[in-house]
Structure 1
Amino acid sequence: MSESQIAVLTRVQQFLDRHHGLWIEGRQMVSDSEKRLEVFNPATGEVIASTADASAEDVDRAVMSGWRAFVARRWAGKLPAERERILLHFADLVEQHSEELAQLETLEQGKSINISRAFEVGCTLNWMRYTAGLTTKIAGKTLDLSIPLPQGARYQAWTRKEPVGVVAGIVPWNFPLMIGMWKVMPALAAGCSIVIKPSETTPLTMLRVAELASEAGIPDGVFNVVTGSGAVCGAALTSHSHIAKVSFTGSTATGKQIARVAADTLTGVTLELGGKNPAIVLKDADPAWVIEGLMMGSFLNQGQVCAASSRVYIEAPLFDTLVSGFEQAVKSLSIGPGMSPQAFINPLVSRAHCDKVQTFLDEARSHNAELITGNHVPDGKGYYVSPTLVVNPDANLRLTREEVFGPVVNLVRVTDGEEALQRANDTEYGLTASVWTQNISKALDYTDRLQAGTVWVNSHTLIDANLPFGGMKQSGTGRDFGPDWLDGWCETKSVCVRY
């Protein structure tokens, strides 16, 4: 258990103490609703801030602000090189305020300050600069026509890419800054306006980032933030008639609801949803690589990662060795507040989510499952769950089939790789998977046969701005990242000229 914590920056405390409104038209605005949403520190259970609980009327104001900015071409009308320059300046400002943003993230979400610094800010900066560079790479194509034309007629045809309009970005609570910017940056690079709705649990970092966007020179109305519940604020945003695209990261159930609403209005969607991600460990795998890679792949951010490995299928000859190795590794993990740099396991995001994860473990215990747990959690009101290995759980347990989204990993003995592959694919999800082996032929065979949008070999949870990411089956639709990322934020217009 770790006790030493870093000091909260004065400017962070000052931001927490503000009376936060909504960010619309480049400034803080008061909500039509008098309701407030409290923001809790997961390490203590104490209220650290409050934000507006936006009404449907507030959402309409934000969307129409974005619409007016789009129609006036305040942003889309700028030269691509000018948009790129502003977005790179935006990234520089985020870097200058990196410690402030990292602390806000840890205080409202609970994760390690090390993860907030390295992932939430460090990786976000990589994505911001990568995406800013795509601004000047948007291109159409010249095309030859194939239909018979009148004698002597001359035609020229081409396509051009145009921003779709006003887009909605709905952000989860597990990586509020990083995933938020996965929605903001491609929208802005393409020339769209965007309305962001962060999770009501973790709204603070996106409000601060919106201020930095304005400081960077992004015009008023182009980047708006509304805070509020999914039931009111989220529903009003996704069903608004002036929203051209919804980018959502979250649960499969909510994603399906958004898809149904979008179908009624023919609104485009990108959905990055749940996962029950398998790792297949073949008998020739390097045990040290497996333990190092899957400890990070499973317990990073307390397992609150959509891509986390939660089902590990291990060929029998290596099973006992790896169970012993994982047990030693789990029991070595320090548990404590996110503001303690020495703590690897930190509180979960909320009391409700903590209780939900505990119900999975309680059910497993009631069925006499073998559980290996890590160190004792700190006393007090923090939302802690000790990291837990579940050895050969019954296939009927909920934690074998449902996404737990916590520090819980199943270790399952299999007779061979074929059984592992069958069990890995036996799920409604298909987000990520990994295979661990020193046999390159087997590795390539399994990457073909695993039903997942991303498959890693001898690693897990490596995500890069240049590598498309998204799910199969019930894990979503569409892809983020990669050289063609902006295609999903643009319309393709065909032009044909007779001359």
Structure 2
Amino acid sequence: MKSYQMFIDGEFVDAVDGRCFASQNPYTGDAWARVPSAGSEDVARAVDAADRAWREGPWGQMTATERGALLWKLGDLIARDAGRLAETEVRDNGKLMAEMLAQVRYLTQWFRYFGGLADKIEGTVPPLDKPGYFQFTRNEPLGVVAVITPWNSPLMLLAWKVAPALAAGCTVVVKPSEFTSASTLELASLFLEAGFPRGVFNVITGFGAEAGASLVTDRRVRKVTFTGSDATGRLINQQCAAQFKHVSLELGGKSPNIVFDDADLDAAVAGAISGIFAASGQTCIAGSRLLLQESIHDVFVERLLATVTNARLGDPMLPTTQVGPITTPAQYDKVLSYIDIARQEGATCVLGGKPSDIGGLFVEPTVFTDVTPAMRIAQEEVFGPVLAVIRFRDESEAIEIANGTAYGLGAGVWTRDIGRAFRVSRQIEAGTVWVNTYRAVSFMSPFGGYKDSGIGRENGIGAIREYLQTKSVWINTEAPPANPFTIR
């Protein structure tokens, strides 16, 4: 079993008290790696290092161009080691090698993009209404950033946060999910090889109740960026509010995939499958609600089932596998419980609905019809390969159903009518709306949620501002002395 160490202040170290825990391979069920379990003292060491690197170390004295060059170098190293990093992710979270390799290869672009933006951060010189003064603004880094990542796409979602944070001049302490810590620790060695100063990038591993809570509540941490469940996000938001920390949250989703009767049905079927069965449904943007216009409902479901019935479950390392296992035993149990709930509420299971015959943590791709918008299967995030099919009559009802949940992360619209595409995408309450496609992301495109799906935006030019604060500087050039008891 491979043993890992945390990465603190440029060195790989064990937990102070020596505690460790095992990481399991979701496909084999075997423990394959040993990971340190951080306590509050370990967290304090990591935050010390990050705070020192920001306030006193060379990171703060480097030019933005120099910081950007390091990010570019890191991107090159990730591209070189993409295969190794992707294999580590597959062992840890059970997702397909084809998807993980594509993700890791692509995330190099985040470090190149934000590396290029690092020296494009500019202030302003506002035209003042007060003669005799010169005023300008500076955009300065917030300081130490806590980065908390989930188990479904650890490195991709880390890049979304760490690349803009470092480009802005911040330092970071990363806490990956306890289920998928290995790939982040493998990545840490590339920061060392790229030449980042000590303390700029740190990784602590462990559990949320101890390591995560200590990190979030440390007063030297000036921003927390988190991807995960809405329940945990709500708790983190409350903790950050108590200390007036900056926070960005990318939380759950119950995304509608809306198919109108004028859509290209072949393309829409492929989009529906991609939306829910890719990654075994373990993605925040899963199109877990399939809204079908009544006139095409039956033929669409028939085509969908004909394709999904033949989906290949198995070893996620094999290129022929299409659906991998559920990542954790607790999530496996949750998915099966929602299947039971759907049956109890009167939905009709037309495909799957049980554990796979191949055993392990596999759940058969599952499709429910006769779902009504009020059912829990249509309101609550399952985070598994379970699709709820809902009928609608017209455009107005489709929008009402689409917006009828607490979430607003993503949505899909399938239509050949360009006017409808604009109307519906405008009215849907979601941070991302895909038209005639699904699950497309880019380092250039803002990503985030409405409503309970989160706060803030990742990716795109604006993401770097999530890690900056604006300072106004006033200089008296020739203004005469004024009454000291009045505002100037």
Query: What are the residue-to-residue correspondences of 1:43-442 with 2, within 5 Å?
Result: 43-119=27-103, 121-147=104-130, 149=131, 153=132, 155-373=133-351, 382-442=360-420
- Matches for 1:33-44 after TM superposition, within 5 Å: 33-44=17-28
Q: CA deviation at 1:32?
A: 1.9
Residues 1:314 and 1:380: Cα distance change in structure 2 (over 3 Å): closer
Contact 1:44 1:381 (C-alpha < 8 Å) held by counterparts: no
SS of residue paired to 1:345: coil
C-alpha displacement of 1:364: 2.1
Contact 1:76-1:163 at 8 Å conserved across structures:
no
Matched position secondary structure for 1:111: coil
Q: What SS class does the counterpart of residue 227 from structure 1 fall into?
A: coil
Work out the CA distance in 1 between the residues paired with 2:74 and 2:5: 22
Q: 1:374 to 1:334 in 2, by over 3 A?
A: farther
Distance, in Å, in 2 between the alignment partners of 1:271 and 1:394 is 29
* 1:38 match: secondary structure: strand
d(CA) in 2 for partners of 1:407, 1:24: 38
Among 422, 425, 436, the alignment partner of 1:447 is 425
The answer for the alignment partner of 1:10 in structure 2 is: none
Aligned to 2:467: 489
Aligned AA (1:19)? S
- Please tell me the residue identity of whatever aligns with 2:4: H
Q: By how many angstroms is 1:22 displaced?
A: 1.4
Q: Counterpart of 2:140 in 1: which secondary structure?
A: strand
Can you list the C-alpha shifts for 1:140-194, whole angstroms capped at 9, x where unaligned? Answer: 11111123x3xxx3x2211111111000000000101110111211111111110
What is the deviation of 1:249? 0.4
1: CA distance between counterparts of 2:444 and 2:370? 37
- Contact persistence 1:45–1:381 (CA under 8 A): no
Deviation at 1:376, TM superposition (A): 8.8
Match of 1:29 in 2: 13
Are the equivalent residues in 1 in contact too, given 2:285–2:409 (CA < 8 A)?
A: yes
Cα distance in structure 2, aligned partners of 1:34 and 1:67: 24
Match of 2:453 in 1: 475
Deviates more, 1:402-411 or 1:34-43: 34-43
Count of matched residue positions in the alignment of Structure 1 and Structure 2: 477
2:288 partner letter: S
CA distance in 2, matches of 1:204, 1:484: 30
Post-superposition Cα deviations, 1:358-393, rounded to whole Å, max 9, x if no partner, equal 001122234453213359976565211111111122
The residue type paired with residue 217 of structure 2 is S
Q: Which moved more, 1:33-42 or 1:212-221?
A: 33-42
User: Quick check: 166-175 or 128-137, which moved more?
Assistant: 128-137
1:430-486 CA distances to partner (integer Å, 9 max, x unpaired)?
Answer: 111121111111111111110111111111211111111111111101111111211
Q: Distance in 2 between matches of 1:367 and 1:461?
A: 29
CA distance in 1, matches of 2:242, 2:91: 39
* 1:184 counterpart letter in structure 2: V
Q: Which runs of 5+ in 1 are unaligned?
A: 1-16
When normalised by structure 1's length, the TM-score is 0.93
* Letter of the 2:323 counterpart: I
Contact 1:336 1:377 in 2 (8 A): no
CA distance in 2, matches of 1:434, 1:299: 15
Shift of 1:85: 1.2
Task: Report how far residue 79 of structure 1 moved.
Answer: 1.2
CA–CA separation in structure 1 for the residues paired with 2:325 and 2:260: 33
CA distance in 2, matches of 1:218, 1:345: 38
Q: Give the secondary-structure state (helix, strand or coil) at the position aligned to 1:288.
A: helix
TM-score normalised by structure 2 residue count = 0.95
Partner of 1:462: 440
- Which shifted more, 21-30 or 166-175? 21-30
CA contact (8 A) 2:110 2:443 kept: yes
CA distance in 1, matches of 2:382, 2:272: 16
The 2-side partners of 1:360 and 1:248 are apart by: 25
Q: Is the 8 A contact 1:169 1:197 kept in 2?
A: yes
Check conservation: 1:336, 1:378, Cα contact below 8 A. no
Change (3 A) 1:76 1:329: farther
Code of the residue aligned with 1:306 in structure 2: it is C
In 1, Cα distance between equivalents of 2:352 and 2:196 = 47
Q: CA deviation at 1:76?
A: 2.6
State the alpha-carbon separation in 1 of the partners of residues 321 and 398 from structure 2: 33
Consecutive unaligned residues of structure 2, counting only runs of 5 or more, are: 478-488
- CA RMSD, aligned part only? 1.5
| TM-aligned CA deviation for residue 134 of structure 1 | 1.1
**In 1, Cα distance between equivalents of 2:375 and 2:390:** 13
Q: Contact conserved, 1:171 with 1:248, CA < 8 A, in 2?
A: yes
